[in-house]
Structure 1
């Protein structure tokens, strides 16, 4: 027997959002670290950061998709829906920044971009740092939606009769 609350579409967003947060922040740390290491060790961290970046970016877009599904349900119950809109804008900004970093990184890895590799690695890391800033801001706004306005939260009756 399945739990009917699991199939509420607004529940899918918090289930899908935590993997890209972890992967993208770890990717940013790995790529930042690689900039300050000697070339013999930097390649390992660049490659590891790139793989985390690819997976995290794909999952970020999945989180945006599940967030869009939850938006129609959650926004009707909020006292201040502008926080939810700002959360959505920050999420799109982080997804675009990490997507641009992913495109540049793939261009470097596949040798499609023939420019100064060191400079492009710095540009990739800068895009990832900007994306991480938007990630922190989107997370802060998401926490405000959930914890200040009970967005997507099932608030039980005062007598807890449903349990």
Structure 2
């Protein structure tokens, strides 16, 4: 290898797009949890806004993950980790999407806007957060144990000279 590969490779779009939704979804869960006990509506509205952005972002991350899959899967020693990462990513995305739908429905339909619905929503979002943490763990395994999507320099690092 005489030169470094271009940074803007297809498999790089996934790590670039995945970290922002992680923060958005975790913060949305925290805001909604605080909103259960706070009398200020700001926590609830802030949580909803973060959840909307996070759900959009998580589906973008799934899209970029699918793009990277075709390139990275051929280079892995254990592609079952990638498949589990993908499956849990879809599960996580659907959990938060369902949470968003429930949250939007409770915003506009007073009949289902109850404390128990809020508790169910927070439990669902906390389950999504746990799933999100596991997806991140699997992603870290792919990168740090199998060098998924990572440029491995030559032994003499000649491409850096």
Alignment TM-score, normalising by the size of structure 2: 0.93
Distance 2:46 2:121 in 1: 14
Instruction: Choose which of 142, 152, 155 in structure 2 pairs with 1:158.
Output: 155
Question: Where does residue 48 of structure 2 map in the other structure?
Answer: 50
> What is the distance in 1 between the residues matched to 2:122 and 2:148?
33
Query: What SS is found at the alignment partner of 1:70?
Result: helix
Query: Which structure 1 segments of 5+ residues have no match?
Result: none
Shift of 1:4: 6.1
CA distance in 2, matches of 1:89, 1:114: 35
Aligned length in residues:
157
**Aligned pair partner of 1:59 in 57, 60, 82:** 57
Q: Which residue of 2 aligns with 1:16?
A: 17
SS of structure 1 residue aligned to 2:153 = coil
Equivalent pair of 2:106/2:113 in contact (CA under 8 Å): no
Of the candidates 70, 75, 78, which is equivalent to residue 77 of structure 1? 75
Tell me the distance in 1 between the aligned counterparts of 2:134 and 2:74. 23
Structure number with the bigger relative contact order (C-alpha 8 A, sep ≥ 6) is 2
Are 2:24 and 1:27 equivalent residues in the alignment?
no
Q: Which runs of 5+ in 2 are unaligned?
A: none
- How high is the TM-score relative to the length of structure 1? 0.92
1:129 is paired with a residue whose SS is helix
Moved over 3 A (4+): none
Q: Whole-Å Cα distance in 2 between the matches of residues 5 and 87 of structure 1?
A: 26
Matched with 1:138 is 135
1:123 is matched with which residue? 120
- Using the TM superposition, give the Cα deviation of residue 110 of structure 1 relative to its aligned residue in structure 2, in angstroms: 2.4
